[in-house]
Structure 1
């Protein structure tokens, strides 16, 4: 696989031409050998006869030895006239050869200014047009990849670049491409573009799973972190509400329920299992006590009453099902109408509680190992550490970076290392609002959640208390600190993974580390005990 710069794909548009450009870009990225780098959306600004000229090169391929290939992509039909190729747009006609000559001239000028000499090849890609026997005067026929040659585009490009050689200072050439052409966006721009692109890519589950039928009406979606389970749930809820039917979404974590409640349609029920139990307890027994024993009492009351519930739901979604007790699932299913649909969303690799397995008779099972959320480098680390089996498949267009590692051997060093990890992310352009500190310890045992500040940063965390309406109480602060247990199901651009201490990388440690790493959309920093860091090094070696 080749590197992509910028690492995120360009924003999608509705026109067919842009989709074809993205297809060419993805094909080069996915099938070019390692060592190649593909630059896209390269802006050009040149001055000729005291006049400013602006343009854009679709793609530039940088070979391992520094040779360059410029690719101009013209999707859809083109016009051949007098041996010339023209592209027709809504606002006029573009001379393809003239455009290509301008681009090559501008690049050559920049290379000469930088005193960098390297072979510079050019080609035209017409993925939807068959030139046949047509004669083209202004562009060498062998440098045109039309529709019949398009399936061999990657091998053709490799052949062209393999036939030339360069002694250029490749790092200097790459810096020129990065800096002169502004190919690297700011973190906030990258974040916004990446989130939009990943959201669209991860819509796959939400697009095709609702089209699948099940005689029993039951579906079991066993999908890895970042595969699009939340998008699927939202789509199912919206479809059911739009049809005037009744739907309920029930998950394990209260924080995830709060998140989904804010983005789901208001016409459906969204809560976590214990909220559902509390609501029932209030209606039948009065005000509950909000502590561990109180939650156990309200849960048992709900279970005891569930066999008498009147079926009222056309759709039931159980999310984070790997953390549900089998009796909880049965109590929820009693609310389904005959002919109602049940969707059970789960990821056994994120099972953080020792709940017994349960079966759903005659359910259609769908497996998905595609991770759209996590950067490719984080997925590579997950697979290298064998945190899950089978491995996850990275589908994210953003490569990202290997997480940095800080170590500690005392609580004082732990705090200092966590502050350093936060500052590393801030130094890369992330804001405090982009960062969440995820602790490997539970809230009551965490050093982080007992603090009000982390260095110069005020901390926001769940206090462990609830108000009179059962809503969780939070401390005031700018930097969110959460346990890995509570933050499961959510994500953020950058994550500091701290308070991870284990003597061996057993199943529990693997699951917790997997959950923590897959919260990051762009970057992660690890704060590990010295012992835990040695375990990871031993696993990698």
Structure 2
């Protein structure tokens, strides 16, 4: 009997045809032996990577086998392995399939050792691994290849043969000669029960530690260099793509300056970022004044009731602030999200906020021109030109948030090519899904959420994004009652955190500057206009590990044209 977990395959999520074929072959295999097969098993703690994924884990009476599947053409050149699928797409890796399989095997064994007693049969059974290449004849015999556990086009590829052959080989490697335990049906059930709890979509971060502490603890060498150079310059302009760590650096600069005894004013555009930074500083007892730019102006000169117009924020409020007498001047001004705040009226206000003004005072402005979704580029360029004459300029080039897969999707959708070099390789493929109507989009979104829940992804790791608010009829969730029990939908601040059972919804505008492990970008109905490209860029770049994009099938021609343009670049 074969129990496959999960029992059904969502084909859009599995790009490998060989893996799809094996899934159905294993699931439908007729046998008297007891096999539990886990498909696409995520290793929460890999011995050499931030995360790992096993194509198939086979739990049998003879032991536990990790199966690595490689379809299409397999080759190696100059020490790098290449895997080419039937569509001609090639994926290159330094690590070969046999090394990958062995790393997964050892990591899985170590994970189970932490759960079961050391005398448990599950700990003491044989752990094995193998590589299945059903689409080719593999004849390489270099030292890193293990022919005895390689199943190619000539091999009998069945659960029984894979388990028997792999277990036999790894038992022969047992240099101490002791006999490994067999697993009873109850042991198989226990092992599957424990592993099924960990069977979830892989995430970039290993735990739910506070995000800023995690990222500061792993600052890149580039970020350390910029921090050091900022301390040698009174005025700095720091640019970088989404995910390059601008907010992290801004916070680190603020904290260092506070401990140097300076009065620091930290201003940004987005209320969610302001709340996030303020909460992080409060936990550390760091006394830095953190506000949104406009909230700070209103604190100084008062808020006019029911005023929420563009003219109020860009003209009336700055003029009121400039009319104020004896306002406090800070030692250091830090501006985050500078692309949203650099307009002439605001620049005059900044001049009044710091000692010696913008010409001779101490300030740092962090920005990404590709996220300028609130102001005209002309205003930004004019202010930037004035500031750059009297400031040191630095550029961050490493992307600390997005995987290569997410960056590639973003480039193909937004045509924004300056997204930085990813620090994380081997991520999960992004999923793009077409919808023919808002109802069909809603049904698909709910299906993805149920699937993520079945894979034990915490609700708090998932964020639904749209350029449309929930009360907009162009939002697929508009007027819908989300049947997600026991999950609930959070739509209120703070958006940067949620309870374990809460999925967050936000507009792209409100979530700018924040991130989440899983982003579901909905209602993408424009690929052509400059504003839509920037919104798509901002929305997609919020994803750390897994991305879903739902787009209008009527815009497929525009999407394909965008793909062509991205290849040209």
Q: One fold, TM greater than 0.5?
A: yes
Instruction: Give the superposition deviation at 1:204.
Output: 4.4
1:333-344 matches, within 5 Å, as: 333-338=351-356, 340-344=361-365
Match of 1:496 in 2: 520
In the aligned structure 1, how far is the partner of 2:197 from the partner of 2:563? 31
Instruction: Give the superposition deviation at 1:426.
Output: 2.7
1:484 aligns with 2:508: yes
1:193 aligns with 2:206: yes
Question: Which of 339, 344, 350 matches 1:332?
Answer: 350
In the aligned structure 2, how far is the partner of 1:226 from the partner of 1:430? 22
List runs of 5+ in structure 2 lacking aligned partners.
1-40, 51-78, 82-91, 114-118, 146-159, 176-191, 565-569
1:273 aligns with 2:293: yes
* Structure 1 or 2: more strand by fraction: 1
Does the Cα contact within 8 Å between 1:218 and 1:363 map onto a contact in 2?
Answer: yes
Instruction: Give the superposition deviation at 1:488.
Output: 0.3
Does the Cα contact within 8 Å between 1:203 and 1:228 map onto a contact in 2?
Answer: no
Aligned length: 416
1:235 aligns with 2:252: yes
Match of 1:292 in 2: 308
Q: Residues 199, 345 of structure 1: CA spacing in aligned structure 2 closer, same or farther, 3 A cutoff?
A: same
Q: TM-score, normalised by structure 1?
A: 0.63
In the aligned structure 1, how far is the partner of 2:230 from the partner of 2:516? 34
Instruction: Give the superposition deviation at 1:33.
Output: 7.1
Question: Any idea what the Cα deviations from partners look like across 1:336-386, whole Å, max 9, x if unmatched?
Answer: 123642111111111112332222132111112321111221112223446
Instruction: Give the superposition deviation at 1:223.
Output: 0.7
In the aligned structure 1, how far is the partner of 2:132 from the partner of 2:432? 29
Question: Any idea what the Cα deviations from partners look like across 1:278-323, whole Å, max 9, x if unmatched?
Answer: 21232xxxx5214424981696233343375656212211111111
In the aligned structure 2, how far is the partner of 1:364 from the partner of 1:183? 53
Task: State the SS of the aligned residue for 1:261.
Answer: helix
1:528 aligns with 2:551: yes
Q: Residues 8, 297 of structure 1: CA spacing in aligned structure 2 closer, same or farther, 3 A cutoff?
A: same
Q: Residues 190, 520 of structure 1: CA spacing in aligned structure 2 closer, same or farther, 3 A cutoff?
A: closer
Q: Residues 6, 300 of structure 1: CA spacing in aligned structure 2 closer, same or farther, 3 A cutoff?
A: same
In the aligned structure 1, how far is the partner of 2:532 from the partner of 2:326? 39
Does the Cα contact within 8 Å between 2:198 and 2:456 map onto a contact in 1?
Answer: no
Match of 2:229 in 1: 212
In the aligned structure 1, how far is the partner of 2:132 from the partner of 2:301? 67
1:454 aligns with 2:482: yes
In the aligned structure 2, how far is the partner of 1:430 from the partner of 1:322? 34
Match of 1:441 in 2: 468
Instruction: Give the superposition deviation at 1:518.
Output: 1.2
Match of 1:393 in 2: 421
List runs of 5+ in structure 1 lacking aligned partners.
14-26, 72-109, 121-137, 139-178, 464-470
1:220-259 matches, within 5 Å, as: 220-259=237-276
Question: Which of 407, 426, 444 matches 2:453?
Answer: 426
Match of 2:73 in 1: none
Task: State the SS of the aligned residue for 1:480.
Answer: strand
In the aligned structure 2, how far is the partner of 1:508 from the partner of 1:442? 17
Does the Cα contact within 8 Å between 1:289 and 1:295 map onto a contact in 2?
Answer: no
Query: Quick check: 4-13 or 526-535, which moved more?
Result: 4-13
Q: Residues 368, 416 of structure 1: CA spacing in aligned structure 2 closer, same or farther, 3 A cutoff?
A: same
Does the Cα contact within 8 Å between 2:130 and 2:166 map onto a contact in 1?
Answer: no
1:179-190 matches, within 5 Å, as: 186-187=199-200, 190=203
Q: Residues 192, 370 of structure 1: CA spacing in aligned structure 2 closer, same or farther, 3 A cutoff?
A: closer
Task: State the SS of the aligned residue for 1:212.
Answer: helix
1:42-441 matches, within 5 Å, as: 42=107, 43=109, 65=138, 113-116=163-166, 186-187=199-200, 190=203, 192-193=205-206, 200-204=217-221, 206-213=223-230, 217-265=234-282, 266-282=286-302, 288-293=304-309, 296=312, 300-306=316-322, 310=327, 312-327=329-344, 328-338=346-356, 340-355=361-376, 356-357=379-380, 358-359=383-384, 360=387, 361-385=389-413, 387-397=415-425, 399-409=427-437, 411-441=438-468
Match of 1:74 in 2: none
Does the Cα contact within 8 Å between 2:434 and 2:553 map onto a contact in 1?
Answer: no
Task: State the SS of the aligned residue for 2:366.
Answer: strand
In the aligned structure 2, how far is the partner of 1:531 from the partner of 1:37? 45
Does the Cα contact within 8 Å between 1:203 and 1:231 map onto a contact in 2?
Answer: no
